[in-house]
């Protein structure tokens, strides 16, 4: 999850977990889980880290069961593949995504008004991907007919959401094992308004093949960045493309770029300067993997196109060109 201290991460998780508690057993699991998380990370005790993951995964499994329907999860018409009850790491990640990615859709009528999102940003683990401040020309939302790039698609939670909104989504996911679940998401959401096209690629500042590190805890934190590869068990070679070249070869006009690519966001932006200059898509990018992400990424965007307006939230950067 980038360079966030164990204590900071524990506090962020605590805010979300407290909202999810519904029984005395949940309270006990929460207390034990936070203790195990903090001690395990601080002292690098593998058994405590594993116990933390198990408790969190079990809690997530229970919370997700209310959405279970016919072998998949049904989030009010957005469908994702059900995960094995013992896949603790990915279950906890999915539950966080339900709050971060689908929470506003499920609980606030898909209304991303800035006042609501700013308040929500204080309580979520990572924060949402959309943001509206119409009085300033800010509309970081998915519209029907948009072309959306979901960079770091994982199992397709944001892709499924954008498809439900009527967008054509290019879901970039370089990890072979994860793409099996992503393909199920594509299948489950066929005819759901838009469409999802799986791209077995990473994105960066060069067209090349590079090493991809598999994260031990859950696939969503797998990464190209060796410095973020703590807990990685193995690697695979994957193809990386520059968005400038890829967009030109596909002959498409991009409206929305979402990126959660574990520290490679700056590399992606360096490889997309022509897209930022000519097409001016709205941007929704994670900025918590490196301590200087907000400043570095803002600099790349404004260097490519000074017309962009930047909104930095706690862990997300939103960018748009007024009047676009």
Of residues 250 and 36, more confidence is placed in 250
The stretch 145-165 carries a mean pLDDT of: 97
Mean pLDDT for the chain overall: 84
Each residue's pLDDT tens digit, 46-98: 665 666 677 778 888 999 999 999 999 999 999 999 999 988 888 988 998 89
Q: Please return the burial class of 266, using the count of CB atoms within 10 Å of its CB with bins 0-12, 13-18 and 19+.
A: buried
Q: Does residue 135 contact residue 161 with C-beta atoms inside 8 Å?
A: no
- Say what the pLDDT of residue 54 is: 78
Tell me the C-alpha distance between 163 and 191, whole Å: 9
- Count of C-beta atoms within a 10 Å radius of residue 120: 19
**What is the b/e burial string over 164-178, where b = at least 16 CB atoms within 10 angstroms of the residue's CB?**
bbebbbbbbbbbeeb
Helix (H) or strand (E) holding 267: helix 265-270
- Say what the pLDDT of residue 186 is: 98
Q: Which of 122-131, 194-203, 296-305 has the lowest mean pLDDT?
A: 122-131
Spatial neighbors of 191 by CB under 8 A, at least 6 apart, are none
The stretch 103-112 carries a mean pLDDT of: 95
Spatial neighbors of 29 by CB under 8 A, at least 6 apart, are 55, 58, 59
Place of tokens 């090493």: 211
What is this structure's pTM? 0.82
Each residue's pLDDT tens digit, 211-247: 766 555 444 444 445 444 444 457 778 899 999 999 9
The stretch 24-47 carries a mean pLDDT of: 53
Helix (H) or strand (E) holding 214: strand 208-215
Q: In what order do the strands lie in the sheet with 208-215?
A: 202-203, 232-241, 208-215
Is residue 174 scored above 60 in pLDDT? Answer: yes
- Say what the pLDDT of residue 90 is: 86
Residue 312's SS3 state is strand
Spatial neighbors of 70 by CB under 8 A, at least 6 apart, are none
- Say what the pLDDT of residue 125 is: 81
Domain 6-320: state its class: alpha beta
Each residue's pLDDT tens digit, 283-300: 999 999 889 999 999 999
- Count of C-beta atoms within a 10 Å radius of residue 146: 20
- Say what the pLDDT of residue 35 is: 56
- Say what the pLDDT of residue 220 is: 41
- Say what the pLDDT of residue 289 is: 86
- Say what the pLDDT of residue 24 is: 44
- Say what the pLDDT of residue 49 is: 60
Is residue 16 scored above 50 in pLDDT? Answer: no
Q: Does residue 201 contact residue 239 with C-beta atoms inside 8 Å?
A: yes
CA of 176: how far to CAs of 50, 70, 182, 243, in Å? 24, 25, 10, 20
Percentage with pLDDT > 70 across the chain: 77
């Amino acid at each position: 999850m980038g360079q966030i201290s164990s204590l900071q991460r524990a506090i962020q998780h605590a805010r979300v977990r407290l909202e999810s508690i519904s029984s005395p057993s949940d309270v006990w699991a929460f207390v034990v889980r936070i203790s195990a998380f903090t001690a395990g990370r601080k002292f690098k005790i593998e058994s405590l880290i594993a116990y933390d993951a198990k408790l969190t995964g079990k809690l997530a499994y229970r919370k997700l069961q209310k959405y279970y329907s016919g072998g998949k999860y049904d989030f009010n018409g957005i469908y994702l593949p059900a995960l094995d009850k013992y896949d603790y790491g990915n279950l906890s990640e999915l539950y966080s995504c339900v709050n971060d990615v689908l929470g506003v859709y499920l609980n606030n009528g898909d209304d991303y008004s800035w006042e609501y999102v700013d308040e929500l940003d204080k309580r979520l683990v990572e924060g949402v991907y959309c943001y509206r401040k119409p009085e300033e020309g800010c509309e970081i939302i998915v519209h029907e007919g948009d072309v959306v790039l979901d960079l770091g698609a994982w199992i397709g939670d944001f892709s499924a959401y954008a498809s439900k909104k009527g967008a054509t989504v290019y879901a970039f996911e370089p990890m072979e094992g994860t793409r099996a679940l992503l393909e199920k998401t594509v299948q489950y959401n066929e005819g759901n308004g838009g469409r999802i096209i799986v791209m077995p690629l990473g994105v960066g500042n060069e067209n090349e093949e590079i090493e991809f590190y598999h994260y031990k805890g859950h696939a969503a934190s797998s990464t190209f960045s060796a410095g973020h590869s703590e807990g990685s068990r193995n690697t695979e070679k994957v193809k990386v493309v520059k968005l400038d070249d890829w967009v030109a070869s596909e002959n498409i006009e991009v409206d929305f770029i979402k990126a959660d690519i574990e520290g490679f966001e700056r590399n992606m932006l360096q490889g997309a300067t022509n897209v930022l200059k000519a097409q001016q898509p709205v941007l929704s990018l994670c900025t918590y993997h490196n301590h200087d992400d907000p400043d570095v990424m803002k600099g790349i965007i404004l260097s490519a196109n000074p017309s962009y307006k930047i909104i930095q939230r706690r862990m997300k950067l939103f960018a748009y060109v007024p009047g676009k």
